[in-house]
């Protein structure tokens, strides 16, 4: 009971190294609070990978989703939707996506796709850091969306 009742940050970090498809199953069955902790944690882990690749600093990336006006879960969901739409037009050969990869690696590749290829939304095209910022701005001040 005690372990089930407490969803710790440490557990959420450990989940980020699970395969993305498993991570998604757990995310969809989590409570809103658990989902937010899972998403925040995997984004922090992903931010480290993005910084190592010189795409964006961990601090800049964290600032996109770590304020009280953006839900980390919405930031991830919008990212996945943007990548899905982008992949319909052009498959990424530089960043092939495999759902069996660690969740943090899968999301890292998603952000790399948006960063390098960009995406269009509402008659505008976003690329580079602007693509990552645009997703955050769109998610700003919205109600947390359920994943189930």
Query: What whole-number distance in Å separates Cα of residue 104 and Cα of residue 44?
Result: 9
According to the model, what pLDDT value does residue 37 have?
Answer: 86
Domain assignment of residue 99, yes or no = yes
Full domain range(s) for residue 34: 8-139
Domain assignment of residue 78, yes or no = yes
According to the model, what pLDDT value does residue 14 have?
Answer: 76
Residue 54 belongs to what H/E stretch?
none
Domain assignment of residue 114, yes or no = yes
Would the pLDDT of 30 be above 60?
yes
Q: Give 78-126 pLDDT, tens digit per residue.
A: 999 999 887 666 666 778 888 999 999 999 999 999 999 888 888 889 9
Domain assignment of residue 3, yes or no = no
Domain assignment of residue 59, yes or no = yes
Contact between 66 and 74 under an 8 Å Cβ cutoff? The reply is no
Number of domains in the chain: 1
Would the pLDDT of 4 be above 60?
no
pTM: 0.86
């Amino acid at each position: 009971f005690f372990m089930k009742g407490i969803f710790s940050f440490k557990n959420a970090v450990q989940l980020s190294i699970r395969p993305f498809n498993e991570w998604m199953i757990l995310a969809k069955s989590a409570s809103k609070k658990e989902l937010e902790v899972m998403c925040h944690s995997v984004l922090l882990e992903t931010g480290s990978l993005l910084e190592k690749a010189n795409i964006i600093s961990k601090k800049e990336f964290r600032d996109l989703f770590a304020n009280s006006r953006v839900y980390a879960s919405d930031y991830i969901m919008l990212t996945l939707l943007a990548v899905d739409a982008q992949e319909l037009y052009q498959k990424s050969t530089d960043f092939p996506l495999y759902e069996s990869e660690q969740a943090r690696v899968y999301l890292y590749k998603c952000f790399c796709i948006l960063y390098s290829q960009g995406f269009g939304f509402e008659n505008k095209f976003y690329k580079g850091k602007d693509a990552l910022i645009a997703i955050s701005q769109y998610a700003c001040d919205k109600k947390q969306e359920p994943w189930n």
